[in-house]
Amino acid sequence: MAREIERKFLVEELPGWLEDCERVEIEQGYLAIDADADAEVRLRRAGEELTLTVKRGAGEDRGEYEVTLSPEQMDLLWEACAGRRLRKRRYVVRLDEDLRAEVDVYAGGLEGLRVAEVEFPSAERAAAFRPPDWFGRELTGVRRFANQALAAEGMPEDVGAGAEAGGRDGA
């Protein structure tokens, strides 16, 4: 099992230079979501990469298992995700020598939502991270902004609301 340590932020306004960054179109669908157990089984098409991912845990530190799928396997399983899918464009932004932000710009029913996620090599590095000014309020651990919730439930009502919506320190 791999360990995923990440923090997530709402991005109110995209920086103009973002269009010059590496990007990929992503489609995700959820085969299973168990909010009580903090578990999900997800399919993802990111460019040519096709994966099935199992995640367990919530918040900043989670377990993650990932398997590469063939196009035939992806097509077979994709139908089972009906009603629990999302589309987004992901931009990759280098923050420093060992950190990068993945900025997701959602499409379809989630159009207007933009988030940045930063994955860290350790919990200490995550705790020490100071986000750039263009990151907005922190969303780490806020369930309604988890991709599984976005795919199943749609746009959170408080997109564009102030810091009272919570996050790492206030969820």
Looking at 30, 65, 91, 106, which residue is catalytic?
30
Annotated active-site residue 106? The verdict is no
Parallel/antiparallel/unpaired status of strands 85-94 and 22-34:
antiparallel
| Residues pairing with 68 in the sheet | 51
Cβ atoms of 140 and 48 closer than 8 Å? no
Please state the length of the chain: 171
What amino acid positions are annotated as catalytic residues?
30
